[in-house]
Amino acid sequence: MAQNFIDTPAGQQHDPRSTPADPAPPRRGPVAAAAAGFLLLVLVGVAFLIPKLHHREALVTESRDNMGPPDVDVERVQLGNANSRLELPGTVQAFEQTPIYARTSGYVSRRYVDIGDRVRAGQLLATIEDPQTEQSLRQAQASLLQLKAQLLQARANAHLTTLNNQRFEQLYQEGVVSRASADQQAAQSGANDATVQAAQANIAAGEANVRSLQEQAGFSRVLAPFNGTILSRGIDTGSLISAGSASSVTQLFTIGQSGTVRVFTNVPQASAPAVMSAHTAQVQFRELPGQIFTGTIARTSSSIDPSSRTLLAEVDLPNSDGRILPGMFATVLFDTRRAQPPLLIPANALFVRTAGPQTFVVDSNHIAHLRNLTLGRDYGASAEVINGLREGDVVVLSPGDNVTDGAKVNPQLTQGATGG
């Protein structure tokens, strides 16, 4: 019986009926390590992807929410109080205050008052030695005496020529003298009369010169122009004084009357009409705490200063006890009433851009519109609107970037707002 053999690759014969040898045991270590690594990668990926998925879901939810109009806080524009109090800084000045200069040149021979002294009108403050004016006065008085003597001589000559003229006229009537001789005497009489008139005119001029020099000499006595207090002094005995009031000329004294004081303040243009119609004002001083002085609005400039756009107002205050000192800083309070109450807008509804103050106004269709405003007084939490809004307009408070001109919004009326 023939036997079947299978050639092996090495050329050896193998009997297929022979029992094969037992296989080698499998290697399980590398497989387990690979499986564990794969599982770890899966866990890390899941841990990384879960927050991402949650974040994506949040973004999708936010995007879904943003698809609707944004919620905005709004408030209605209201009318303010027609009665308001305007507080402005002011400066105190004496009711009458003037610097005193010399009208004649010379040396101060005596000074009679000092700073803080109360003086009366016409009181002597100082005397100035002016020998040049005194000498000119004596010379003018002597010249006047000469002119008066010349007038007496001219009158005597005129009287003599008048008598001679009368005699020659009579002799002419008798035919003793000629007509020419009589006319010559008449002309001489008229010339002497003219000489008398000229002498009288010279005397009048001389008297005027004497009076002028007497007044000039009187300026050596420096007198107080009105009742008041000496506020400053610029001279001492022996000081050289020049006449005049230029900046290079020494000022003798400054005198002020402070029984009543003036308080000057500059009123903004927007409040000028209300202040002009008011009659009284209250004045306070930091140095006099708790004291309020009531004064009269005596006058205003009735015009706006183009450089500052303000109205100058004067408030007169009684100051019999002298507590209010000229030069003090004051706070002036005006209680005014407007014919048209102002519109008030919350400060957080305002924003300023290149176009100036603006705000967003929400209409009945919940559409936001950008409005340009003209503002008045600033009260801090609110501001006056002169132009750009009407009573009842709904404005957006603290608008965000999602509020734009023409955008639809979901207005939420704040509790501080009034009206429906």
**How confident is residue 332, by pLDDT bands cut at 50, 70 and 90?**
very high
- Class of domain 254-337 as given by CATH: mainly beta
- Check whether 8 has a pLDDT greater than 50: no
In three-state secondary structure terms, 180 is helix
Is the pTM higher than 0.75? The answer reads no
Q: What is the mean pLDDT of residues 311-324?
A: 92
* Apex 189 CA angle, 184 and 193, nearest 5: 145
Q: Which CATH architecture has domain 71-81+341-413?
A: Beta Barrel (2.40)
Fold of 102-128+222-251: OB fold (Dihydrolipoamide Acetyltransferase, E2P) (2.40.50)
Q: What is the mean pLDDT of residues 304-333?
A: 92
* Apex 63 CA angle, 62 and 64, nearest 5: 90
Q: What is the mean pLDDT of residues 153-159?
A: 80
Q: What is the mean pLDDT of residues 252-279?
A: 90
- Check whether 417 has a pLDDT greater than 50: no
Q: How many CB atoms lie within 10 A of CB 261?
A: 27
Token pair 């009108």: residue: 121
**pLDDT for 353-401, tens place per residue?**
888 899 999 998 999 999 999 888 788 888 888 888 988 889 999 888 8
**How confident is residue 143, by pLDDT bands cut at 50, 70 and 90?**
confident
**pLDDT for 180-223, tens place per residue?**
777 777 787 778 788 888 888 888 888 898 888 888 888 889 99
- Check whether 1 has a pLDDT greater than 80: no
Percent of the chain with pLDDT over 90: 29
What pLDDT, on a 0 to 100 scale, did the predictor assign at position 4?
44
Give me the helix-helix angle, 179-218 and 131-174, nearest 10°: 160
In three-state secondary structure terms, 15 is coil
What pLDDT, on a 0 to 100 scale, did the predictor assign at position 63?
54
What pLDDT, on a 0 to 100 scale, did the predictor assign at position 10?
46
What pLDDT, on a 0 to 100 scale, did the predictor assign at position 14?
46
**pLDDT for 211-261, tens place per residue?**
888 888 888 899 999 998 998 999 999 999 888 887 778 899 999 988 899
Residue 358 pairs with which residues in a beta bridge?
351, 372
What pLDDT, on a 0 to 100 scale, did the predictor assign at position 328?
93
What pLDDT, on a 0 to 100 scale, did the predictor assign at position 300?
93
**How confident is residue 59, by pLDDT bands cut at 50, 70 and 90?**
low
Could you tell me the two tokens for 363?
Answer: 């209409």
What pLDDT, on a 0 to 100 scale, did the predictor assign at position 60?
52
Could you tell me the two tokens for 263?
Answer: 């308080």
Phi–psi pair at 116, nearest 5 degrees: 90, -10
Q: What is the mean pLDDT of residues 167-182?
A: 75
Buried b (16+ CB within 10 A) or exposed e, 382-394: bbbbeebbeeebb
Would you say 359 and 396 are in contact if contact means Cβ atoms under 8 Å apart? yes
